[in-house]
C-alpha cells in the first residue's frame, strides 16, 4: 500500500472510531463507555498493524529525511517531550488567562475525568488508544498528505489546527501548540513513536494528576 492510500485509510478509520459513540448511544451509559473504549483500543491496534504491515512501502518524507533516527533519541525526546508539552500547555494557558481573564480550565479534560470516574476502563482510551490514533492521523497521515503541496511547516500548521478543532475545547492555541510540538518531535526523529510516547505520557500524567486532586479533594488555586 502506498503512503497516500495508507494515510487516507488511517484517516477514514479514525473517523469511524471518532463517531463510534453514536453507534452505542441507544444503550446504557456503561455500554456506551465500554464500547467506545473498545473501539479506541481496536482503532489504535489496527493503525499500528497497518503501519508495520506497510512500513517498507509507505515511508513518509519526514521519515526518509530525518536526522536523529536512533532509538536512543526517540526514547529521550519522547520522554522529555512529556514534560516539555506540559510546560507549553501551561505557558499558552497563562497567556490566554492574561489576555482574556478566563481561568485555564479545560472542559475536555474535565469531561474525560468525569467519564473515567464513572467507568475507570475509559482511562485506556484517553491515555493509550486516543493519543496513538491522533499521532498516526494528525502527525503522520495529514502531514504526509499535505507536505508535498505545502512543505512540512505549513503542513504541520494545518494538521495542528485540525488537531485543535477536533478537541472542541475552546482553547484553540493550547491544542495547536501542543500539536505543533508533537509534529516537531516527529520531524526530528522521523519516528512516529517519539510523539506517541510524549502524547501518551502527557495524557497519562494529566489524568493521574486530576484523579489525585479529585480523590484528595484538593481545589486548585484560582
Neighbours of 47 (CB within 10 A): 25
C-alpha pair distances (Å), 54 with each of 2, 6, 49, 134: 8, 8, 8, 19
Other residues' Cβ atoms within 10 Å of the Cβ of residue 46? 17
Looking at 81-193, which runs of residues are DSSP E strands?
A: none
Give me the residue label for grid cell 512543505. Answer: 151
Compute φ and ψ for 156, nearest 5 degrees.
-65, -40
Distance CA 69, CA 168 (A): 34
Q: Taking the chain, what is the end-to-end CA distance rounded to the nearest angstrom?
A: 52
Q: Are 207 and 116 in contact (CB under 8 A)?
A: yes
Determine the Cα–Cα distance for residues 65 and 68; give it in Å rounded to an integer.
Answer: 10
Q: Is 50 exposed, middle or buried (0-12, 13-18, 19+ CB in 10 A)?
A: middle
Please name the residue that has the C-alpha cell 503541496: 149
Query: Which positions are annotated as active-site residues?
Result: 134, 167
Amino acid at each position: 500500500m502506498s503512503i497516500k492510500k495508507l494515510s487516507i485509510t488511517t484517516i477514514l478509520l479514525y473517523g469511524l472510531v471518532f463517531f463510534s459513540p453514536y453507534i452505542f448511544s441507544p444503550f446504557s451509559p456503561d455500554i456506551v463507555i465500554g464500547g467506545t473504549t473498545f473501539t479506541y483500543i481496536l482503532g489504535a491496534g489496527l493503525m499500528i498493524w497497518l503501519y508495520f504491515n506497510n512500513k517498507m512501502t509507505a515511508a513518509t518524507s519526514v521519515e526518509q529525511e530525518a536526522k536523529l533516527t536512533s532509538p536512543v533519541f526517540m526514547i529521550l525526546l519522547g520522554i522529555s517531550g512529556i514534560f516539555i508539552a506540559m510546560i507549553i500547555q501551561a505557558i499558552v494557558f497563562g497567556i490566554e488567562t492574561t489576555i482574556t481573564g478566563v481561568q485555564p480550565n479545560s472542559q475536555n479534560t474535565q469531561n474525560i475525568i468525569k467519564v473515567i470516574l464513572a467507568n475507570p476502563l475509559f482511562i485506556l482510551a484517553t491515555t493509550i488508544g486516543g493519543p496513538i490514533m491522533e499521532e498516526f492521523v494528525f502527525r503522520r497521515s495529514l502531514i504526509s498528505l499535505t507536505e508535498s503541496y505545502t512543505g512540512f511547516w505549513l503542513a504541520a500548521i494545518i494538521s495542528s489546527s485540525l488537531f485543535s478543532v477536533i478537541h472542541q475545547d475552546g482553547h484553540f492555541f493550547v491544542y495547536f501548540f501542543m500539536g505543533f510540538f508533537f509534529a516537531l518531535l516527529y520531524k526530528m526523529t522521523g519516528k512516529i513513536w517519539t510523539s506517541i510516547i510524549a502524547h501518551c505520557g502527557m495524557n497519562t500524567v494529566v489524568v493521574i494528576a486530576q484523579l489525585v486532586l479529585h480523590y484528595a479533594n484538593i481545589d486548585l488555586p484560582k
